[in-house]
């Protein structure tokens, strides 16, 4: 019987459409069930001002609301609670302990294993870490992926061998001073010729490219990803 992992993820479309397939592909010993972002019901879409995905403290509050509901409805059906969020240049250990401390208030989950994983600063760091298997192979960026990489390296100083270190924390905004995903978008629209071609999209490209990335390559360049990768590899195969 497969090990059941409940996934409480922050973020928006890229997490909704990309994260669970990525986990299922690379950790087949586990069955991943998404609990957040909460699935949208059919019908009229919510107003643009309403947040679909949560992050940071907002995600914590959502987990504290959704976890008791899940435990009440599916008692004894979860082997691991996996919380996943963009780190957004926050301190990883402080954020991890904050999340675990808050979740511990849901006493019904006391006997369930828990792990907090981060994409630092965003999921797009994994794509950049394995550029040759992701952006370089996508037909939307054929013939210009080298120029995109050069621009990201020279204009935004993104370290391709250590993309998790991009940008720095802005205490006033509680996030990175610069967004990695915005840099990736801008790299795809450098001139008039680019503007006639598809621009990078978190919604459309990130989920597809996550499916192309090789976790063995990503874990060599992204220490926080390596923590998540090693934990799930161990948990999903030894339980």
Report the distance separating Cα 18 and Cα 21, nearest Å.
Answer: 6
Q: Is the pTM of this model over 0.85?
A: yes
Q: Looking at residue 99, what is its pLDDT?
A: 95
Instruction: Using alpha carbons, list the distances in angstroms from residue 72 to 33, 46, 67, 83, 108.
Output: 16, 28, 9, 19, 9
Q: Looking at residue 51, what is its pLDDT?
A: 44
Count up the domains in the chain and report the number: 2
Say whether both 93 and 106 belong to one domain.
Answer: yes
Say whether both 70 and 25 belong to one domain.
Answer: yes
Say whether both 154 and 102 belong to one domain.
Answer: no
Q: Looking at residue 50, what is its pLDDT?
A: 38
Say whether both 116 and 128 belong to one domain.
Answer: no
Range of the domain at 205: 124-215
Say whether both 117 and 229 belong to one domain.
Answer: yes
Say whether both 188 and 229 belong to one domain.
Answer: no
N-terminal to C-terminal alpha carbon distance within the chain: 10
pLDDT per residue, tens digit, the chain (239 aa), is 789 999 999 877 777 789 999 999 999 999 999 998 876 555 455 443 334 567 788 899 999 999 999 999 876 789 999 999 999 999 999 999 999 999 999 999 999 999 999 999 999 999 999 999 999 999 999 999 999 999 999 999 999 999 999 999 999 999 999 999 999 999 999 999 888 999 999 999 999 999 999 999 999 999 999 999 999 999 998 87
Say whether both 116 and 8 belong to one domain.
Answer: yes
Instruction: Using alpha carbons, list the distances in angstroms from residue 41 to 13, 38, 209.
Output: 15, 9, 26
């Amino acid at each position: 019987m497969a090990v059941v992992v409940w996934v409480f993820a922050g973020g928006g479309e890229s997490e909704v459409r990309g994260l669970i397939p990525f986990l299922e592909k690379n950790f087949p010993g586990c069955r991943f069930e998404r609990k957040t972002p909460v699935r949208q019901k059919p019908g009229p879409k919510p107003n643009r001002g309403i947040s679909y995905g949560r992050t940071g403290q907002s995600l914590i509050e959502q987990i504290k609301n959704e976890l008791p509901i899940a435990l009440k409805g599916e008692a004894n059906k979860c082997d691991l609670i996996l919380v996943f969020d963009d780190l957004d240049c926050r301190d990883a250990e402080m954020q991890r302990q904050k999340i675990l401390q808050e979740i511990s208030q849901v006493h019904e989950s006391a006997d369930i294993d828990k792990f907090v994983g981060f994409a630092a600063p965003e999921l797009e760091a994994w794509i950049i870490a394995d550029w040759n298997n992701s952006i370089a192979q996508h037909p939307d960026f054929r013939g210009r992926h080298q120029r995109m990489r050069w621009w990201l390296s020279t204009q935004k100083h993104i370290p391709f061998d250590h993309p998790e270190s991009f940008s720095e924390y802005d205490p006033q905004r509680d996030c990175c001073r610069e967004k990695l995903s915005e840099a990736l978008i801008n790299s795809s629209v450098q001139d008039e010729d680019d503007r006639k071609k598809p621009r990078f999209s978190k919604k459309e490209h990130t989920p597809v490219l996550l499916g192309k990335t090789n976790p063995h390559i990503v874990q060599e360049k992204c220490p926080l990803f390596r923590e998540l990768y090693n934990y799930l590899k161990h948990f999903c195969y030894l339980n």
